[in-house]
Chains A and B, each alone.
Chain A
Amino acid sequence: MIQIHVWLLVAMIAVLGLLGTMLWNNLRERKFHLRVPDLDCFEQALPSIAGMTKAIIMDGNRADIVQNGEFFTALLASIAAAKVTINFETYVWWTGDICAELAQAFAIRAREGIEVRVMVDAMGAKKMAVRLRELMQEAGVKLVRYHPLRLKDIGQLNKRTHRKLAVFDGTTAYICGHGVSRKWTGNAEDKEHWRDTGVRLHGPVVNAVQSVFSQHWVEETGEVLVGEKYFPAIELQGELKMHVLAGAPLGGVSDLELMFKMALATAQKEIVIQNPYFIADEQTTALLKRAVKRGVEVKIMVPGMVTDSPIVNHAGHRHFGDMLSAGVRIFCFERTMIHQKILIIDGLWSHVGSTNLDSRSFNINEEAGVGIIDEGIAAELKAAFDDDLESCEEMKTEAWVRDYNFWHRAVDRACYLLSGQL
């Protein structure tokens, strides 16, 4: 037993309280409420959306949409075609033949003298086979794990890289929702093969994707990517205008949340959302309801029974009743897990990337996405959405209200309480 003075005890508790507050200050999200002036058309908002998220709109790009397992076919072809550099960053690296195939492809190119850099999230890639890791490293692939468990970085442990991107020779880039696992092969035909969407990009915007990759690379390794191999001067290649969004939150307003909410607030005709993890907070709900009120058609597609995260599903239900009765249309995809993160506004602007619509993506993790300003791309993504609708069940207000019993409500609310971390 130690005898201590009362005031010392008070001081000790105060110190703990102060440190706790400082820590909370550093980590918590900043709430903000949008006040958006009246706009005539959504297009007017685009320079703001790009500007506020530290991006500029770049002209002269080309994009190809890659659906489901097509992604790996395209990626492997790009790996085989690369001439100087291959840079790849992802969150999920699980198991399946595709993992071996990809590791093998990287290793072959590294042996041929191409610079291959692979960055995987230390948590998301826990399941990566040792055999594959060694295969790549022996071949000369620079393999780096993002934020591994280290005592001195313990406060960063919750912050993962959820980005999924690849850059080849500084001239071709991919931004997608796909992880490296057998789940993403196939064609969304059953529960074991998921639905997802990515884009392949050509043109000046590839420089921006390269810089997103370089940021984490320099953070973990200190190696700076400088020169034509990484940032070549890129000729205009097509007609598309694009801007890249990369969220690196932690204190301050989240760029991605800002982008998402600004898009909802400024849409004039149509909002289409496809997302595997959609947890609307009060403000998002209000923005969607207001959109419906000003005549915007709002369609949201979320996972139905097939999901890898029931808790997120339940937390998402929290405001469904409210949205449904306001006229928001919500569809549950039943065939398999939908994993794509798509946002289409007014048939003009589409956002494709890694960003889920929950606090983890907005305020904690590192994300990457691309905004594409083009009616053709928007139409193509919308057609895929409409196609997916056939495997969906629409939530009906009456049915929702009738079946939304006490237990379901209790589970939803309990899950929603955790939404700051989901």
Chain B
Amino acid sequence: MSLFKKGPPKPGKKPRRTIQVSYVQAFAFLLTLVILVLLLWSTDKEHASHVRVPNIDNFEQAVPSIANLANSPVLPGNAVQILENGDFFPAFLADVAKARGSIHLETYVWWKGEICDRVGMALAEKARQGVEVRITLDALGSHRSDRKLIAAMKKAGVKISLYRPPRLSEIGLYNNRTHRKVAVFDGRVAYVFGHGIAEEWTGHAEDKDHWRDTGVRLEGPIVNSVQAVFAQNWIDETSRVLVGERYFPPQPMVGTVRAHMVWSSPRGGVSEMELIDKLAIACARRDLIIENPYFIPDMELVNLLANAVKRGVRVRLMIPGAITDSPIVRHAGHKHFQTLMEKGVEIYEFEPTLSHQKIMIIDGTWSLVGSTNFDDRSLDINDEASVGLIDPGIAARLTAAFENDLRRCKRLDARTWSRRGAWHWLEDQVSYLLNEQL
């Protein structure tokens, strides 16, 4: 930068510590600063989140449009198994044991504890047997992991790629994490889930140390889509491409569920995740259920939900109560609760433990399960993966589980809410100021 040069030392003063800058130079600095900030902001900002949806007769009609618009074509012929809470790990470990060719796992959370050791050792054992084991761990989400375990896994031949570690050359990308949670075995069986690899996900939502979560195990053509999701960030960090039938085998139809994979890595365009969430809500005709641990609606979402109620949709929302790992998100979410309840949205707080599942069920036909939270971080910043399942049976089972959870919820009501106290109100307002990064 030749903009600045040392000014002549003033006689009588110590010349070392200060420098003279002309107004022109100061102005040039400010101008450069403004231009850089503007460029940076405009390349990275979220785009056109105001969607307008025409009138439609029923939700079923809209599903193919919704899926296609989010780059997520619908594939028939899949078999789906729902895995609640700690049921996830036994199923997962059984598939690890059965795998013969390749095991792929991408996750955000990998903390410390017994389950981490069990998963880690099982994967290491498979690598020793000659199975290709690839893991993408988010560098930030897994920074609490056990270094010795990771080293042992690497030594056994597990290929571990840390996603976006702090590197000066990539400092602008540091905020963009992978929050995806997917696994693929032999290109034949896939998991899409909300669970992290940590003790919190091992129990059955019995207390505050054992969380509530939901995932799905998939077989059929949709597995190729999940594989592609994994492959995307694998190439991003390692430059290795996954080619061939070992990873993308021809998939026979093995079930009756139609499924589509939604995945986003939003960088300066329309985020597929945000698009699909908003479209689906706008298209709901009878019944809308949202279960999400981090729910921060903006005014547009509030309007979409209010409009849904207005056209006769029953809207039910389940979010964490006092037990949450992120009070600031909880408070930011409160910002529009009063309006939501006044408009007729039913809001329930799950009390026994943190409900970490990310589920949306619409009109008893379509369910979305995956890693995506209802906040700007998930919708506009992070890489996410969720699967849409078009099947009344699946929707019915997830709805039954939801209604079961309702019995352990507290329903919020508008009258009590409006008297929640100035301090609480202030916390809500202040937290919401940060909402674009939460």
Give the complex CA separation of A262 and B228 in angstroms.
Answer: 14
Check A37 against B265 for contact (C-beta < 8 Å): no
Residues in B neighbouring A387, C-beta threshold 8 A: none
Binding site for B on A (CB under 8 A): 1-6, 9, 12-13, 15-16, 18-27, 30-37, 39, 44-45, 47-48, 51-52, 54-56, 58, 151-156, 159, 207-208, 210-211, 214-215, 218-228, 230-231, 233, 246, 248, 250-253, 258, 262, 265-266
Residues in B neighbouring A214, C-beta threshold 8 A: 68-69
Check A36 against B270 for contact (C-beta < 8 Å): no
- Closest Cβ of chain B to A170, distance in Å, is 10
Residues in A neighbouring B232, C-beta threshold 8 A: 52, 252-253
Residues in B neighbouring A45, C-beta threshold 8 A: 243-244
Q: Among B1, B43, B236, which residue has the most Cβ atoms of chain A within 10 A?
A: B43
Q: In chain B, residues 240-276, which have Cβ atoms closer than 8 Å to a Cβ of chain A?
A: 240-250, 263, 265, 267-270, 275
Residues in B neighbouring A226, C-beta threshold 8 A: 53-54, 56, 62, 65-66, 69, 279, 283
Check A225 against B173 for contact (C-beta < 8 Å): no
Check B43 against A23 for contact (C-beta < 8 Å): yes
Q: Is B437 in contact with chain A by the CB < 8 A criterion?
A: no
Task: Give 5 pairs: A residue, B residue, CB < 8 Å, sorted on A.
Answer: A23-B36, A36-B243, A48-B241, A228-B61, A250-B267
Check B231 against A9 for contact (C-beta < 8 Å): no
Give the complex CA separation of A22 and B22 in angstroms.
Answer: 28
Choice from B40, B66, B283 contacting A26 with Cβ under 8 Å: B40
Residues in B neighbouring A56, C-beta threshold 8 A: 73, 75, 221, 224-225
- Closest Cβ of chain B to A7, distance in Å, is 8
Choice from B47, B69, B221, B225 contacting A224 with Cβ under 8 Å: B69
Check A1 against B20 for contact (C-beta < 8 Å): yes
Give the complex CA separation of A12 and B25 in angstroms.
Answer: 12
Q: Is B171 in contact with chain A by the CB < 8 A criterion?
A: yes
Q: Is B420 in contact with chain A by the CB < 8 A criterion?
A: no
Choice from A2, A151, A220 contacting B21 with Cβ under 8 Å: A2
With A35-B239, A211-B69, A227-B62 already in contact, 6 other A-B pairs whose C-beta atoms are closer than 8 Å? A13-B4, A21-B169, A22-B172, A31-B239, A218-B48, A251-B268
Give the complex CA separation of A94 and B269 in angstroms.
Answer: 27
Give the complex CA separation of A58 and B43 in angstroms.
Answer: 34
Check A48 against B242 for contact (C-beta < 8 Å): yes
Check B241 against A52 for contact (C-beta < 8 Å): yes
Q: In chain B, residues 170-185, which have Cβ atoms closer than 8 Å to a Cβ of chain A?
A: 170-173, 176
Residues in A neighbouring B401, C-beta threshold 8 A: none
Q: Is B71 in contact with chain A by the CB < 8 A criterion?
A: yes
Give the complex CA separation of A48 and B16 in angstroms.
Answer: 62
Q: Is B423 in contact with chain A by the CB < 8 A criterion?
A: no
Give the complex CA separation of A156 and B48 in angstroms.
Answer: 14
Choice from A35, A58, A153 contacting B241 with Cβ under 8 Å: A35
Give the complex CA separation of A42 and B37 in angstroms.
Answer: 47
Residues in A neighbouring B268, C-beta threshold 8 A: 26, 155-156, 159, 250-251
Q: Is B41 in contact with chain A by the CB < 8 A criterion?
A: yes
Residues in A neighbouring B228, C-beta threshold 8 A: 51-52, 54
Check A39 against B243 for contact (C-beta < 8 Å): yes
Q: In chain B, residues 39-58, which have Cβ atoms closer than 8 Å to a Cβ of chain A?
A: 39-44, 47-48, 50-54, 56
- Closest Cβ of chain B to A309, distance in Å, is 26
Return the 9 tightest CB-CB contacts between A and B, nearest first: A25-B172, A22-B172, A155-B42, A155-B43, A51-B228, A47-B248, A32-B239, A211-B68, A19-B36
Q: Is B18 in contact with chain A by the CB < 8 A criterion?
A: yes
Q: Chain A residue with minimal CB distance to B245?
A: A44
Which segment, of B26-34, B188-196, B372-380, B387-395, faces chain A? B26-34
Q: Is B93 in contact with chain A by the CB < 8 A criterion?
A: no
Interface of A is mostly: helix
Residues in B neighbouring A151, C-beta threshold 8 A: 38
Check B22 against A1 for contact (C-beta < 8 Å): yes
Q: Is B7 in contact with chain A by the CB < 8 A criterion?
A: yes
Residues in A neighbouring B246, C-beta threshold 8 A: 37
Q: Among B19, B62, B246, B265, which residue has the most Cβ atoms of chain A within 10 A?
A: B19
Q: Chain B residue with minimal CB distance to A31?
A: B239
Q: Chain A residue with minimal CB distance to B247?
A: A48
Q: Chain B residue with minimal CB distance to A36?
A: B243
Q: Is B235 in contact with chain A by the CB < 8 A criterion?
A: yes
Residues in A neighbouring B224, C-beta threshold 8 A: 47, 51, 56
- Closest Cβ of chain A to B363, distance in Å, is 15
Give the complex CA separation of A55 and B263 in angstroms.
Answer: 12
- Closest Cβ of chain B to A143, distance in Å, is 18
Give the complex CA separation of A12 and B221 in angstroms.
Answer: 54
- Closest Cβ of chain B to A388, distance in Å, is 31
- Closest Cβ of chain B to A256, distance in Å, is 14
Q: Among B61, B66, B73, B231, which residue has the most Cβ atoms of chain A within 10 A?
A: B73
Q: Chain A residue with minimal CB distance to B51?
A: A224
Check A9 against B43 for contact (C-beta < 8 Å): no
Give the complex CA separation of A19 and B66 in angstroms.
Answer: 37
Residues in A neighbouring B20, C-beta threshold 8 A: 1-4
Contact flags B159-174 to A (C-beta < 8 A → 1, else 0)? 0000000001111110
Residues in A neighbouring B65, C-beta threshold 8 A: 225-227, 230-231
Q: Chain A residue with minimal CB distance to B187?
A: A47
Choice from B1, B21, B33, B68 contacting A208 with Cβ under 8 Å: B68
Residues in B neighbouring A225, C-beta threshold 8 A: 65, 69
Give the complex CA separation of A27 and B43 in angstroms.
Answer: 8
Choice from B1, B53, B176 contacting A13 with Cβ under 8 Å: B1
Choice from B21, B36, B48, B172 contacting A222 with Cβ under 8 Å: B48
Check A258 against B43 for contact (C-beta < 8 Å): no
Q: Chain B residue with minimal CB distance to A251?
A: B267
Q: Is B64 in contact with chain A by the CB < 8 A criterion?
A: yes
Give the complex CA separation of A5 and B18 in angstroms.
Answer: 4
Check B172 against A26 for contact (C-beta < 8 Å): yes
Check B250 against A20 for contact (C-beta < 8 Å): no
Choice from B43, B236, B270 contacting A250 with Cβ under 8 Å: B43
Check B172 against A21 for contact (C-beta < 8 Å): yes
Q: Chain B residue with minimal CB distance to A233?
A: B64
Residues in A neighbouring B173, C-beta threshold 8 A: 25-26, 251
Q: Chain B residue with minimal CB distance to A152?
A: B42
Q: Is B107 in contact with chain A by the CB < 8 A criterion?
A: no
Check B239 against A47 for contact (C-beta < 8 Å): no
Check A44 against B244 for contact (C-beta < 8 Å): yes
With A32-B239, A33-B239, A58-B73 as given contacts, are A227 and B269 in contact (CB-CB < 8 Å)? no
Q: Is B415 in contact with chain A by the CB < 8 A criterion?
A: no
Check A22 against B171 for contact (C-beta < 8 Å): yes
Give the complex CA separation of A266 and B247 in angstroms.
Answer: 15
Residues in B neighbouring A48, C-beta threshold 8 A: 231, 241-244, 247-248
- Closest Cβ of chain B to A84, distance in Å, is 13
- Closest Cβ of chain A to B301, distance in Å, is 15
Check B42 against A19 for contact (C-beta < 8 Å): no
Residues in A neighbouring B241, C-beta threshold 8 A: 32, 34-36, 48, 52, 258, 262, 265
- Closest Cβ of chain A to B345, distance in Å, is 22
- Closest Cβ of chain A to B230, distance in Å, is 10
With A24-B172, A35-B241, A52-B241 as given contacts, are A154 and B33 in contact (CB-CB < 8 Å)? no
Q: Chain B residue with minimal CB distance to A231?
A: B65
Q: Chain B residue with minimal CB distance to A55?
A: B73
With A13-B1, A155-B40, A227-B61 as given contacts, are A30 and B269 in contact (CB-CB < 8 Å)? no
